[in-house]
Structure 1
Amino acid sequence: MRIKAFGPFADEVVIDFDELGADGLFLLHGQTGAGKTTVLDAVAFALYGRVPGARDTTRRLRSDHAASDQAPEVELEATIGSRRLRITRTPEYERPKKRGEGMRKINATASLAWLDGSGPDLTRIPDVGEAVVRLLGMSADQFFQVVLLPQGDFARFLRAHPDEREALLEKLFDTERFGDIEDWLRDRARESATRLSEHAAAVERVAGQIVAISGVPAPAEADFEWAQGCLDAAREAAERTGAELTAAQAAAEQAEAAHRDALRAEDLRRRGVQARDRLAQLEEGAETLAEADRARRLALRAAPIAHLADDHDRLTAEVAEKTVAADRAREALAELAEGRPLCESDCDDATLVAAVDRWTEESGRWEPLARRVAERPRTVADIDELEEAIAAAEREAAGIRELLDAAPARREEAVTALREAEELRAQAPRLRAERDATRRILQAFDDRDQVLDQLAKAERDLLDAREKHTAAREHQLDLRERRLAGMASELARGLVDGEPCVVCGSPDHPAPAAGDEEQVGEADEKRAAADEQAASAIRSIAESEVIALKERRANLDAVVGDADRVATKAELDRLAADLAAAERAAARTPTLREAVERIDAEIDGRRSALADLDSAQSARRERLSGLRESLSALDAEVAEATGGRIGVDERRRELAELCARARRLREARRDAEQARRRLDEVADRLATACAEAGFATVEDVRAALVPPAQIQAWERMLEDAATLRAASEETLADPEVREVLEAPAVDVERLAADLAAARSRRDEAAQRNAVAVQRRTDLDRYVADFWNVLDALAPIQERHAELSGLADLVGGRGQNSRRMSLRSYVLAARLDEVLVAASGRLREMSSGRYEFVHSDTAAVRGRRRGLGIEVRDEYTGAVRPTSTLSGGETFFASLALALGLADVVSAESGGRVLDTIFIDEGFGTLDPEALDLVMGVLDDLRSGGRVVGVVSHVDELRARIPSQLHVVRRENGSTLRVQSPLGVS
């Protein structure tokens, strides 16, 4: 495993567990807070991306000792299920932003590489997690419980409340399917109860409908005979009301026929009377109809002539208007001096056309000169612009000459500053080398003080280690001498009467040697030898550390030499100040060089600009002289052409106005003549039309005219009168109408009253019959429904009783005498397996005194859980609660339970567990004898092929376990030191 910037480990550290666990057992020790548990956290984080216990909630896995840009990382290479893989993970952390201030959040990453080529590499965190769970066959919580036996969690499972123990067991063992069975049966029972309730409600609902329809109250338990009786009574009532309805319908039909005949006779009488009245009214209005007919005919003859009269009036007004317009056009032309002679004479169109042609020709002759006059303002503006440009160029040239005069002094100043900066820059390498050498000497002073402190402590540790090794060596020699001295009694204990002695071969043993009670055996001698080897290893480590520190002190002495610390510090400050000045000068050198080059380029540019200004100025003066000459020539030509009276543009506008007024006069005369011709034509047509229509004058035509709406009204009135006359005469000619008018009137009201009474009797009978028929129909349906729901209710009741009993049984209710749910029962069975597996180790660690007992004591209100744990004390034969155990007894009981739990979980998950397990702390509560027993159990685990890593700071374990991983705490982060039978690294 490789760890970097993780927890207390700032620098990269590497752990080879193959080398460390070569003999099956190793110790992970160090000072409190050094990072022992972090090594286990790194294993857990590499596999599952999280760490055990409450430490996972803080999520602060990055080392505070690491550089700010250093990324935390854990890499684990392992073999799981015969597949070799490498997992690399980085946790979520924050680092400073590369640009700007503040921190940037970096997300967690993970990758998995198959070193044996057994699959594609993975880079997504979920994919890596699924692959690890699939290979190990266990979740993170299971792994933490069976591989990383956590610090402080040994006794938690042992002394947990049954509820807490049940929650933990559910995490470790897959009981979800049994819980699913409980839920499934409970849901089925709930659904069955709902279905039963629905069917019972349906029976009650149908019975209620029968009661509501029939009006017969239901018995205590409604049955089919009661429902059938209600249906028979409804059928008899429907037949009786049907007969009554038939008789009432016949009587109503007779009354309707009599009333219908009376209404027809009354209608014929009314039509005859109305026809006689309309004929009388038409005779009274005959004169009015005749007058309307005459006015209609006159209006129809006058209508075609109306538009000719309107045209005559319109054209008369138009002739007057055109004549006035022609007079105004003549007056407008006469207002101009050159047009007045034309207006005073009676000029015709030919004279006006000739005058317009003459004026147009004269305007055309002035057009070229007009264009030149139009361009005169632009010429004047160009002259003014050139004069301003010449003045501005002269001012710019004067400014450039002033800058050129001052440039040589500025360049000399910049060259001097550049020379001084280059001299300082050349001194920077020498000053930097002197500063670094002085800094190393000053650092050596501090390192030597630290090494001297460490050397003094290491020499004390070495003296203590030598004393302990000497004591262990003397104890080993003493035990060996005592064993040799008691060898005769040891051999005598192995003599058996009748069997030859292993020394002399005699079958007789007359005087066997007798030893004392404290006889030393082979096991004692081996234990003393192991203690001596452990003490020797510690002594070797201490000697190596002293030698290394002395070499370090000698190297630092050589670096310091005869230097003085205060003088060295002052010299370092001076060199740092000189170097900073030289580096600043070096940084300024390119800028100063660019300044000199920029001044040279500026001088050349200004000289070139001054030459360009002189050339442009000559061109401007030459163009200004040409424009002035051209303007003087134009003014002389205009004065000559116009005689000085008006300008060219004014004369052209005057000629254009003469032409326009002459044209308007021609057009006004032409329009007036055309209007007079149209008026004469319309007058002739109007006179002819009046004569043909029979009108003497136009006024007679206008008097006969009426609006079209009035004509249409007269026509409708005449048509309506003719229609009424024909209809009335046709009605009076009908024989039935004549017969009714001659017969006496019928009493319609009496016949209507008889019809209403008959209909009322028929409606009442129909209503009674409809109610009876509907009751019979509804009862037919509801009685059939009642029979169906009664048939379906019985099997549903039986099914519900069966499901309810099963749900109560698996849920710890009903006939379940143990009051245990199915899931609790399964967990109790798993716990029983765990206690069987743990009792063997507990008996071994307690010298046969204790074993676990599975308790089935009833809980509150008689509920049984089956998850209690107690211990049997073989010394007294009593079964005791686990809370009565002492601290040391609680530790090895908890350890035995944890190991047993690990075995059962391993078997449950298919037996795929890492060959290495870790046990974190707790050994400090054991006395030497108990520690020997616990170490014996760990030896059994080791002999079974597993590697056991013990995390502890107990000194006794350092002597017992040669392979060690020492976590060394330092101010700048922890480091690792590996001690194995192969050596120290």
Structure 2
Amino acid sequence: QAALAEAAAAAEGCPALAASLDELAAERDGTCAGAEELERLAGRADDAADRAAARAADAAEVVIAALGADVDVVDTARQVERLITLFAAFSDAGDAERSAAVTEESCARQLRAVLAGQGFAGPAEAEAASAPEHRQAEWRAHIAAHDRRRDTARATLSEPELVDLPDPPDLDGLRGDCEDADKVLESACSRLYVVDRAAADLGLLAQQHAAGLADLAPLRADAERVRRLADVCHGAGTARRMSLERYVLAAFLEEITDAATQRLLAMTDGRYSVRHSDERARHGAASGLSLVVGDAWTGVEREVGSLSGGETFQASLALALGIADVVQQHAGGVHLDMLFVDEGFGSLDADALDNAIVELERLREGGRLVGIISHVAALRERIPAGIRVTRTPCGSRAAVEVADLAA
């Protein structure tokens, strides 16, 4: 009876133990280790049930022997079997509870180790630090997008064109080149800014220059006219390079050479004449005031430089007298009453000297006073009056001499 009572009490506690076992099984259902442990416990429970059934059969025989033949053995056996079943379940539940406690403690230790490795003091702190559901959803979406991009990149890298690519480039060197290129670009941009400013300033100056040219056009036209006139005046615009002054002087020289020719023909017995030449001078020299000497004996015109010393003096004297005649003609009635001739007579022979003196006497007879400065003795004898200058150690002395005209 005591054994039956104990078995009945144990049977009454079995549902609670079974419920606890169900809760533990539900909590460990997610882990493979818990599932394997439960399967092992179930096997042990079956073994325990078999052993309990055997013991129950033995106990039934003992009970039948103890109760006697009046007891309904079948009913009693059913009750005993029920008690055995309950006892076996109770025993298995106890074993499962103890095993589950061990598993729970092991899982707890593993959980604490994992959390400690992640920097958490315990499950509560880890749960507090866990992200909310919507944040986790965002992370899952981000991870899914990353996986898709990874798959796309892998598919791209598996294309034939990208197989057997060379080694990756030197990124550090390329970064340095990129930095240098950025510096060059920055410098170029700075220079471009300066050039743009200069171009803008140059454009403004070009506009001002164009406006200035428009304003300068009339002045340029006037300046061009003045320049052409100046070129004409200076002889730069003429073929003979004859300036305006030389052109005017050439007109006077024509008259002078005409008057000088009359004197020169008389002094040279009709051989030489002088003529003005407006031919262009050589080597780019100014033209318009050249002289040529005509030689009646040879019929050829000669340059002035080809004359001898006496012939040159005769031509010079003739030109001087011609100048005097032309100046007197253009002076408006003013007469040149005196004329001085300095030296040159010593280069003349006797006949040429006589002809020169005759020409000078004609001037004197025409009312002009002619003064001759010379050291030629023959010429002094032909001059009726003069001033003799004598050098002495004490200085020069001058004395007036007048020839005896009666003698």
Shorter-chain TM-score bucket reads 0.3 to 0.5
Structure index of larger Rg: 2
Alignment TM-score, normalising by the size of structure 1: 0.19
Alignment TM-score, normalising by the size of structure 2: 0.43
Q: Compare relative contact order (CA 8 Å, sep 6+) and give the higher one, 1 or 2.
A: 1
